[in-house]
Amino acid sequence: MSLTGPTKKVVIRVVSEMVVSVPDDPQWDANLVNFHFNDGSYCLSNLWREMGEWADDHDENECPCSCTNVEFLRDATEADCKELPIIGSD
């Protein structure tokens, strides 16, 4: 993102739909998939890395915009800047 002039930090929520692979096992129902990605030992940095690799392998005509929604939540507080990832820089 290229911005000119003064900037401020805001908190956004990003929701994307994508296809991922999980074990082909009856135990891997919705609850286990949710646990795996949200509460288990899987680190979401892995998913972010895979999303970056996907973007590197696809051109701008295969943009994920159609399956992603971004929502403004609030102006970022000092606590937000300490606790949440900061994407982009001033």
Q: Is residue 5 part of a domain?
A: no
Q: Is residue 73 part of a domain?
A: yes
Instruction: Tell me the pLDDT of the chain (90 aa) as tens digits.
Output: 566 789 999 999 999 999 999 999 999 999 999 999 999 888 989 988 998 898 888 877 788 888 899 999 999 999 999 999 998 866
Q: Is residue 1 part of a domain?
A: no
Query: What is the structure's pLDDT at 1?
Result: 58
Q: Is residue 2 part of a domain?
A: no
**Domain limits for position 31:** 10-83
Nearby residues of 69 by Cβ (< 8 Å), 6 or more positions away: 14, 15, 16
Q: Is residue 39 part of a domain?
A: yes
Number of domains, the chain: 1
Q: Is residue 88 part of a domain?
A: no
